[in-house]
């Protein structure tokens, strides 16, 4: 790739002065190195093994310009309410910038830090950021990380002090309201030893009020084309616990690149739920490093239709003994959609007694849909229990007929079965308010008449 | 109720049913017996509209309408119910959800309002009791992890709630122990009425000790080779099917 043609390199200098942390030399250095790294490689190419199924060349053909600030005055507040959880502290980021008036942070316990990354860099908290930024993932990981390091305009810093159990979840609500922009955010989540927290990263798009549709069942902001590039670094201390949700319902023309990089110390427990519903091209990388006797559970659901391309990469590094990992990703692909799952589990030589299981199940609803699934186990220890399984299939015609023989029309029967397949992952979400938002989204994809939610 | 005339059915190039004639009046119970491979299951599948079967000749008329032309769900809504020989497991869809979806589909088809939630629960719980089932079954996924007997009982539960006019029971007695057989039979007998007809496809005469048929037919090589009263079943139990099969061959 010729880097000179890449607008994200050529336009950087004229935008850099508007990025936060101008007076922090260490950050300037960090960004400079990141841009150099990005300049060398450009965006990932399908020639790279980790990107062979996902071609991102469409992004560099034009510049998605960084948004200058967060416009909140034109926002469709009713639509926003459907996504902002009532029982959570929430940080709202619009077009990649913190929006104080829409965020709800009252009543945070003493010692808990939840603030915008831009604000943190202007405060004594910048010391914390300096310590952790780039610690869970380096700019050489892949060039989207380098891209994010160079370009991030805001994000969230969360720190939960030791032994504190947060009573409510923290929601990081990323909203894009304009076409042709990029929303580039970088977050750092620190859960100190023996603390416990739930964090939800949500990505949606909302049109401005002026051109919103009056039909409330219509997805708002469905047609915006933009670029989301987000990286979160997560640190879970000894015997601490984090449930992290990612709910991605970007517009159907959007590009989404998200990286979640986790460090789990001894006995740390991490549960991740990854819902990938939106985007024309959406990719999430999820890595976790497991310390001694740490546990992780990774759940994922991707739903693709039309020409969506949804790619999920997970990597679990068993670095120490006695750790366990459980992974289940499910995908439903319709029309000409394409799904990619690459799951990699590495068991280091000293990681004896590792217990790992990885599963990927896919349902193809059309002859033109495609899934590329690649589970990889790399085991260097000799006393371990590692399993993996994958399935790619279609709806069972016997089941369709059974439902038809019970008066259900064929289309509803197919939707019932598909919904049931997907709902297993929604059902794992114990956070009721989030569960209901996700359930509504899945039901909208696979409508069934006369559904009684409490019986699902 | 049901009139089958000279029905010929093929699967691919293979002729399975070769000229079935059957008249079933409202309120009657007909037992269809026969050896394996005689076409018993094909007949019940064709009546319920399973794909993969081609009607090459003849007709099936149900309440004056051409049954063959209807989609499976339309037949079901019109009152034709198939109790499956091998009920299908549907993970993720609860029994109660399917029951409600089914009942509401029927009501909608007949221009009635959706069933009231309270009335529905009362109805379902009453029927569950009748079949001596645990109420927990209602909230479990359809047939998932059920024993053979539980699956068959669940079929009869659905039948009891949907109140079809024509009940086709495909080897409902196969795999049932005597206690389960009694419960299932009791459930079926409670549904007997002058308006409702039953077609019981079975391998074993034992079922007919509990559900008394009006007519017994013997199916062999795709044809009905003999019809008679309940005493025919006893004769079959005693002599087996060979003497009848030989008649056809001759």
Does B162 touch chain A if contact means CB atoms closer than 8 Å? yes
| Confidence category of residue A448, pLDDT binned at 50, 70, 90 | confident
DSSP reduced 3-state for A332: strand
Q: Do B105 and A416 touch (CB under 8 A)?
A: no
CA dist B181 and B161 (Å) reads 19
CA dist B207 and A368 (Å) reads 49
Taking the CA atoms of chain A, what radius of gyration do you get in angstroms?
Answer: 21
The Cα of A304 is separated from the nearest Cα of chain B by a number of Å equal to 20
Over residues A36-62, the mean pLDDT reads 87
Closest by alpha carbon to A24, among A125, A95, A112?
Answer: A125
Q: What is the model's pLDDT at position B204?
A: 86
| Confidence category of residue A453, pLDDT binned at 50, 70, 90 | low
Q: What is the model's pLDDT at position A47?
A: 85
CA dist B73 and A413 (Å) reads 10
Residue A70 — φ and ψ, nearest 5°? Answer: -100, 105
The Cα of A453 is separated from the nearest Cα of chain B by a number of Å equal to 9
Q: Do B101 and A424 touch (CB under 8 A)?
A: no
| pLDDT tens digit at each of 250 positions of chain B | 999 999 999 999 999 999 999 999 999 999 999 888 889 999 999 999 999 999 999 999 999 999 999 999 999 999 999 999 999 999 989 999 999 999 999 999 999 998 888 999 999 999 999 888 889 989 999 999 998 888 999 999 999 999 999 999 999 988 888 988 998 999 899 999 999 999 999 988 889 999 999 999 999 999 999 999 988 888 888 888 887 776 655 4
Q: Do A405 and B73 touch (CB under 8 A)?
A: yes
Q: Contacts of residue B124 in chain A, CB cutoff 8 Å?
A: none
pLDDT in tens, A151-208: 999 999 999 999 999 999 999 999 999 899 999 999 999 999 999 999 999 999 986 5
Q: Quick check: A222 pLDDT over 70?
A: no
Nearest residue in B to A450, CA atom: B101
Q: Do A405 and B76 touch (CB under 8 A)?
A: yes
Mutation target to probe the B interface, by most B beta carbons within 10 A, among A301, A397, A402 is A402
Over residues A96-109, the mean pLDDT reads 95
Q: Which of A396, A408, A423 shows the shortest C-beta gap to B102?
A: A408
Over residues A228-241, the mean pLDDT reads 98
Q: Quick check: A210 pLDDT over 60?
A: no
Stretch 420-449 of chain A: residues touching chain B, C-beta under 8 Å:
420-421, 423-424, 448-449
Q: Report in angstroms the alpha-carbon separations of B235 from B179, B231, B243, B250.
A: 25, 6, 11, 20
pLDDT in tens, A349-391: 999 999 999 999 999 999 999 999 999 999 999 999 999 999 9
The Cα of A454 is separated from the nearest Cα of chain B by a number of Å equal to 9
Q: Report in angstroms the alpha-carbon separations of A373 from A36, A50, A282, A287, A347.
A: 33, 12, 16, 17, 20
Q: Quick check: A64 pLDDT over 70?
A: yes
Q: Contacts of residue B164 in chain A, CB cutoff 8 Å?
A: none
| Confidence category of residue A3, pLDDT binned at 50, 70, 90 | very low
- Average of per-residue pLDDT values in chain A: 92
Q: Do A401 and B50 touch (CB under 8 A)?
A: yes
Does B52 touch chain A if contact means CB atoms closer than 8 Å? no
């Amino acid at each position: 790739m010729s880097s000179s043609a890449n607008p994200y390199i050529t336009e950087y200098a004229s935008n850099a002065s508007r990025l936060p942390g101008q007076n922090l030399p260490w950050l300037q250095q960090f960004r400079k190195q990141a841009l150099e790294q990005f300049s060398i490689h450009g965006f990932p190419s399908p020639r790279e093994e980790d990107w062979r199924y996902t071609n991102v060349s469409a992004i560099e053909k034009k510049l998605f310009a960084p948004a200058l600030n967060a416009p909140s005055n034109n926002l469709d507040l009713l639509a926003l309410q459907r996504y902002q959880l009532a029982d959570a502290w929430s940080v709202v980021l619009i077009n990649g910038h913190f929006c104080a008036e829409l965020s709800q942070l009252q009543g945070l316990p003493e010692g808990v830090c939840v603030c915008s990354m831009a604000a943190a860099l202007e405060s004594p908290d910048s010391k914390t950021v300096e310590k952790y930024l780039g610690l869970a993932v380096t700019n050489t990981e892949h060039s989207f990380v380098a891209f994010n390091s160079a370009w991030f305009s805001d994000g969230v810093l969360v720190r939960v002090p030791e032994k504190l159990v947060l009573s409510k979840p923290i929601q990081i609500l990323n909203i894009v309201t304009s076409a042709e922009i990029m929303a580039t955010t970088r977050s750092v989540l620190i859960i100190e030893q023996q603390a416990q927290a739930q964090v939800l990263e949500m990505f949606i798009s909302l049109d401005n009020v002026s051109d919103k549709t009056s039909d409330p069942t219509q997805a708002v902001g469905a047609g915006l084309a933009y670029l989301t590039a987000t990286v979160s670094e997560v640190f879970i201390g000894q015997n601490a616990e984090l449930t992290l949700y990612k709910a991605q319902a970007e517009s159907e023309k959007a590009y989404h690149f998200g990286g979640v990089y986790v460090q789990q110390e001894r006995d740390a427990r991490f549960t991740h739920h990854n819902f990938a519903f939106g985007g024309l091209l959406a990719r999430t990388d999820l890595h976790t490093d497991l310390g001694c006797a740490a546990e992780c559970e990774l759940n994922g659901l991707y739903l693709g239709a039309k020409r969506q391309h949804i790619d999920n990469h997970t990597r679990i590094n068993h670095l120490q003994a006695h750790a366990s990992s459980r992974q289940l990703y499910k995908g439903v692909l319709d029309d000409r959609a394409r799904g990619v799952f690459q799951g990699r589990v590495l068991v280091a030589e000293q990681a004896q007694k590792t217990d790992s299981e990885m599963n990927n199940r896919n349902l193809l609803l059309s002859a033109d849909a495609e899934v590329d699934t690649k589970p990889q186990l790399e085991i260097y220890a000799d006393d371990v229990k590692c399993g993996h399984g994958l399935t790619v299939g279609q709806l069972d015609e016997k089941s369709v007929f059974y439902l038809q023989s019970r008066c259900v029309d064929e289309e509803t029967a197919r939707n019932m079965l598909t919904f049931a397949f997907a709902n297993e992952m929604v059902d794992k979400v114990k956070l009721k308010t989030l569960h209901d938002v996700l359930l509504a989204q899945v039901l909208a994809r696979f409508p069934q008449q006369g559904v009684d939610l409490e019986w699902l | 109720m049901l009139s089958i005339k000279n029905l010929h059915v093929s699967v691919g190039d293979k002729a399975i049913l070769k000229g079935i004639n059957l008249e079933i009046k409202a309120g009657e119970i007909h037992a269809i017996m026969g050896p394996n491979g005689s076409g018993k299951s094909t007949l019940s599948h064709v009546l319920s509209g399973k794909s993969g079967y081609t009607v090459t000749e003849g007709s099936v008329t149900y309440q004056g309408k051409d049954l063959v032309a209807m989609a499976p769900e339309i037949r079901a809504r019109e009152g034709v119910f198939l109790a499956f020989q091998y009920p299908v497991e549907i993970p993720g869809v609860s029994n109660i959800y399917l029951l409600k979806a089914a009942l509401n589909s029927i009501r909608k088809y007949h221009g009635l309002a959706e069933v009231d939630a309270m009335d529905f629960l009362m109805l379902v719980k009453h029927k569950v009791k009748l079949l001596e089932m645990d109420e927990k079954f209602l909230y479990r996924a359809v047939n998932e992890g059920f024993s053979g007997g539980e699956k068959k009982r669940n079929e009869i539960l659905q039948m009891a709630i949907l109140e079809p006019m024509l009940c086709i029971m495909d080897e409902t007695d196969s795999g049932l122990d005597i206690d389960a057989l009694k419960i299932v039979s009791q459930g079926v007998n409670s549904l007997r009425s002058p308006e409702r007809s039953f077609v019981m496809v079975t391998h074993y005469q034992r079922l007919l000790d509990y559900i008394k048929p009006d007519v017994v037919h013997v199916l062999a090589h795709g044809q009905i080779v003999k019809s008679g009263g309940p005493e025919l079943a006893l004769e079959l139990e005693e002599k087996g099917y060979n003497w009848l099969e030989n008649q056809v061959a001759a």
